A and B are shown apart, each in its own frame.
Chain A
């Protein structure tokens, strides 16, 4: 469970790299993400789903930090194996072996995997400040854009808090793996409460620090680096969207050979 918490970091955190996806306007990538999500949601045909997967892999290889994404995939998979077992057991119950359910659950998990993968591809290649700026340009009020990006920004921080708390309590002899269910719930509180408190304190501190630096004083805030949609972005958009639209088209107007 805890290695999973720490791995949230790997899945979502941006680290600068000089590759294609990192230089594409966030708005364009947002459109790509949304169309990808729609494609994942609407395709029921396994072959088409495999095509989406191939599409994602192609973009990873062309435009992202492959090693980074591989680490991310590893952690997503670990997480999903657990989900898979749960889904399988719930659906197959009371049977032990049910190949049909095993296959169906696999497909469900596969879609879920692509979903997280797309988000991971988006967030690992997008600087949050640029994202906030793009949202602003789409007429989202700055304080909302800022809050949104800030919450994404803090997912890994809270995950890290959780680990630190866990370490502190283990150092005092807390054993999560032992005891009855009720006892474990109680033990879990020893982790949850400090995480909440640290988070709340942080929110307080950040609010004070932001206000002391005149956050929200002017409506039209300026940005240090302006994001702009250029020719490169438009070409990217066309190239990125076409395969997805084709897949969607094939979903509804299938070609039979």
Chain B
């Protein structure tokens, strides 16, 4: 038996422009570990979207990635405003992103739907005023 490989990142909420760095790092590590392109792509998309959401909607948070035997798990936790209506937030095109954020290319309302689409498991645990934790798994 071997210990699962783990990565931990603090995601800075101040800096929109460098957002995505944790995802780029994870992709590099997965490549070094020899994962197939399809797995890397799905993990990258899901983690990038979640990471960006923490930056633009929740003032940052943390990202933990664990490589288990059968799947890669990504846990994104923030102490932001929470998501009042998950069903609404999950709809393609729904976004509360403000204009200054939209000007950067965000706000299509496709982040959460992408996370769902590219992972095999996704769970959102959220409480208004407390924060949001999203757990996703991509099967290996």
A binds B: no
Residue numbers of A with Cβ under 8 A of B are: none
Residue numbers of B with Cβ under 8 A of A are: none
